[in-house]
């Protein structure tokens, strides 16, 4: 793991790193050796000599209305992903939302009890649910 993370900064934990942007420098080792155009242009693309390439991620998260279950939702869900994972979905039935919450708990290990899962489900239904409690498609993984 140390090899994997050496010299790399992650966007974890909402920490926006306010450092200057720079493009990677590409060495001039290949120049003039009959290298295909791709690498020549790659070098020309360099905007800076810094070997450290850094970006600053924007934070653009929607505000959520008050309601029963909102606290559990914010504590358990938003720690790992933007609430846009909810707002981009169509209005789903309670059973679909419950399936999504249980997927987060069982497959991804979200720190929520069964009771909290129900409260979060009620909150998701209240802000983006479909009337009635009819059956809907269950979520799967990797989508």
Partner 1 sequence: MNRRGFLQLIGATGVALMSSCNRVSSVVGALSSPTELVRFPEKTELMLLTDRPPQLETPIHYFRQDLTPNEAFFVRWHLEGIPISVDLRTFRLNVGGHVRQPLQLSVDELQSQFEPISIIAVNQCSGNSRSFFEPRVPGGQWKHGAVGNAKWTGVPVKSILDRAQLKSGAVDVSFNGLDVPPLPSVSDFVKALSIDHARDGDVMIAYAMNDQSLPMVNGFPLRLVVPGWYGTYWVKALSNITVLPQAFSNFWTDKAYRIPNAPNGTESPKDLAKDTVPINRFNVRSIFVRPDPDEILRPGMPTEIEGIAFDSGYGIRRVEVSTDGGANWTDARLDPEIGKYSWRRWRASWIPRNRGQYRLMARATNAVGETQSKEQWNRSGFMWNVIQQVDVKVG
Query: How many other CB atoms sit within 10 Å of the CB of residue 86?
Result: 20
Closer by beta carbon to partner 1, 69 or else 136: 136
Angle, CA of 49, 39 and 36, to the nearest 5° = 155
Closer by beta carbon to partner 1, 56 or else 75: 56
Q: Counting contacts by CB under 8 A, is residue 68 touching partner 1?
A: no
Stretch 24-43 residues interacting with partner 1 (CB under 8 A)? 24-27, 29-30, 35-39, 41-42
What is the distance, to the nearest Å, from the Cα of residue 84 to the centroid of all Cα atoms in its chain? Answer: 9
Q: Which of 32, 65, 66, 132 binds partner 1 (CB under 8 A)?
A: 65
Q: Counting contacts by CB under 8 A, is residue 51 touching partner 1?
A: yes
Q: Which of 45, 68, 75, 133 binds partner 1 (CB under 8 A)?
A: 45
Q: How far apart are CA 95 and CA 135, in angstroms?
A: 6
Query: Angle at which helices 94-106 and 114-128 pack, to 10 degrees?
Result: 140
Q: Counting contacts by CB under 8 A, is residue 74 touching partner 1?
A: no
Q: Counting contacts by CB under 8 A, is residue 88 touching partner 1?
A: yes
DSSP 3-state assignment of 22? Answer: strand
């Amino acid at each position: 793991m140390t090899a994997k993370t050496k010299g790399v900064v992650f966007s974890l934990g909402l920490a926006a790193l306010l450092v200057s942007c720079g493009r990677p420098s590409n060495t001039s080792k290949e120049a003039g050796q009959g290298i295909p155009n791709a690498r020549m242009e790659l070098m020309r693309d360099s905007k800076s000599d810094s070997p450290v390439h850094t970006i600053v991620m924007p934070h653009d998260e929607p505000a959520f209305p008050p309601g029963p279950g909102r606290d559990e939702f914010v504590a358990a869900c938003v720690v790992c992903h933007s609430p846009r994972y909810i707002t981009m979905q169509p209005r789903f039935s309670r059973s679909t939302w419950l399936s999504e919450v249980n997927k987060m708990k069982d497959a991804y290990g979200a720190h929520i009890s069964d009771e909290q899962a129900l409260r979060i489900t009620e909150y998701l239904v209240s802000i983006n649910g479909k009337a009635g409690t009819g059956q809907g498609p269950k979520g799967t993984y990797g989508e």
